[in-house]
Structure 1
Amino acid sequence: MLRACINDFQNGWSKYLHSIDFAYNNSYQTSIRMTLYDALYGRPCRSPTCWLDKEDKVLLGPEIIAETNNKIQIIQNRLKIAQSCQKTCADSGRKSSKLQVDELVLLKLSPMKGIQRFGKKEKFAPRFICPFSVAERIGETTYRIDHPLAPEKIHDVFHVSMLKKYKPDSSHIIQWNDLYLEPNSSYQEQPTRILNNKIQQLRNRQMEFVKVLWQHHSTEEATWELKSEMQKSYPHLLI
């Protein structure tokens, strides 16, 4: 809402902060089925043209405590309903994945490029490292697995979304001892060679790109990178 008002009011937006706050606090919230003002004070907010109505009821003592507790209970119940609806919608697109003890699973990792774009490293498609045995079921969706990875960096308990039942298909599996894993289950891919290059015209300047083949990835997954960035990060490839 604030961003929309900034666009509308341009340089004078700061004068309208109080009005924006008033509008937001009196906007109907679908999840709690009331406005934030109503939830906080127990009654709808008056129009700015009616601030001096004499018939307003003022709650005092035990009445205001009882009214507040009642509002809190109503809000909690409505939030539970909203969260339940959100969970139902999310679960409809998921499939149940229960694992058994001693079953072999693959651990999903996030391969990263060694160069940054807009201050962040880019990701490749997920990769899986060789099968590990399920040691214990911790909760409904978490499992402990036996793995030889560095325990001070990689915990042995994973959410089921990080695991994949093992099937004898090695197309996306790599050996764990070839990698230097980060604490967030990611690792940095290394480029192997340059496949191609091109010059792209961008308005009044030209940008030179190179097509990079990355380790553990096929030629179909090769990516176009700025030549200047590759020279900075991997000068040996462009000798």
Structure 2
Amino acid sequence: MTGERPKDWSEWLHLAEWWYNTTFHSVIRTTPYQALYGQPPPIHLPYIAGESMVAAVDRSLQAREAAIKMLRFHLQRAQDRMKNQADKKRKECEYLVGDWVFLKLQPYRQQTVSARSGQKLASRWFGPFRIVEKIGAVAYKLELPENSRVHPVFHVSQLKKRVGSEKIQDEWPITDVDGSISKEPMRVIDRRIGRKGNRAVTEVLGEWSNSFPEDATWEILPELKQQFPTFNP
């Protein structure tokens, strides 16, 4: 609109705001106007040219209707453009009960005192696991190992169909209840004396579960034992 009406677009900003606030939003399942005031917005009655006997009023209202049409066109075109871009990354996937699929778990969320290396190369797909039930249109229930602590229902975007006898990762990783991959210290490789602030501390080079040996990191021993009470270095 600023490109088409460079001289007077600012005069119609209130129309753009009104149109946005009275348009149905799929996220909140209502219009922003109704969400704020608790009642539907007033119905806009289009102006028909010639209804007003005053020429200045007639011209102003006709200009308003033209601006509203232009606003509708640009807003709809922007929505269509965003939808087309989003649809490029979508693909229709449907599985049958009994199919074997691989499961993509969430990347590990950092919870320790230092950053981990090599996470981009770590495994993300696990399985295969058998589909035991279809839940709704886009969710499936999997037959997970008994030691899993996550809910067995997953969105189709987290699944990938097994092809032939393809095998990726049999061992179920340590996971949180929300499905993110966890890491726990496995063993201490080396020790050293470090410094934290103005005091000396004991640091250990720890090897972590669900990671490669070269991903071992130096951790402050008291903090490591406080975070993992059952770990005995």
TM-score, structure 1 normalization? 0.51
Q: Deviations over 1:117-144 (max 9, x none)?
A: 49x99995435255122633854xx332
Q: Deviations over 1:5-32 (max 9, x none)?
A: xxxxxxxxxxxxxxxxxxxxx9x79xx9
Structure 1: runs of 5+ lacking an equivalent: 1-25, 44-56
**What is residue 155 of structure 2 aligned with on the other side?**
158
Partner AA of 2:129 in structure 1: P
Partner AA of 1:66 in structure 2: E
Relative distance call for 1:130 and 1:174 in structure 2 (3 A) is: farther
Partner AA of 1:174 in structure 2: E
Shift of 1:159: 2.9
**DSSP 3-state at the match of 2:187:** strand
**What is residue 230 of structure 1 aligned with on the other side?**
224
For residue 110 of structure 1, the aligned residue among 100, 106, 110 is 106
Q: Aligned partners of 1:226, 1:212: CA distance in 2, in Å?
A: 7
Shift of 1:170: 5.0
Partner AA of 1:156 in structure 2: V
Shift of 1:192: 0.8
Relative distance call for 1:108 and 1:157 in structure 2 (3 A) is: closer
For residue 219 of structure 1, the aligned residue among 198, 213, 216 is 213
Partner AA of 2:13 in structure 1: L
Structure 2: runs of 5+ lacking an equivalent: 17-55
**DSSP 3-state at the match of 1:186:** coil
- Asked whether the 8 Å contact 1:113–1:122 carries over to 2, the reply is no
- Asked whether the 8 Å contact 2:142–2:152 carries over to 1, the reply is no
Relative distance call for 1:195 and 1:181 in structure 2 (3 A) is: same
Q: Percent identity?
A: 15
Partner AA of 2:68 in structure 1: N
Q: Aligned partners of 2:5, 2:230: CA distance in 1, in Å?
A: 62
Q: Aligned partners of 1:219, 1:107: CA distance in 2, in Å?
A: 24
Is the helix fraction higher in 1 or 2? 1
**What is residue 51 of structure 1 aligned with on the other side?**
none
Report matched runs for 1:72-83 at 5 Å. Answer: 72-83=71-82
Partner AA of 1:115 in structure 2: Q
**What is residue 131 of structure 2 aligned with on the other side?**
133
Shift of 1:174: 2.2
Aligned residue pairs total 185
Q: Aligned partners of 2:151, 2:190: CA distance in 1, in Å?
A: 37
Matched, 1:40 2:13: yes
Matched, 1:86 2:108: no
Relative distance call for 1:69 and 1:36 in structure 2 (3 A) is: closer
- Aligned-residue CA RMSD (Å): 5.2
Is the strand fraction higher in 1 or 2? 1
Q: Aligned partners of 1:64, 1:207: CA distance in 2, in Å?
A: 75
TM-score, structure 2 normalization? 0.52
Q: Deviations over 1:180-226 (max 9, x none)?
A: 541x3224322111224567899x99987543222243324x33143
Shift of 1:158: 0.9
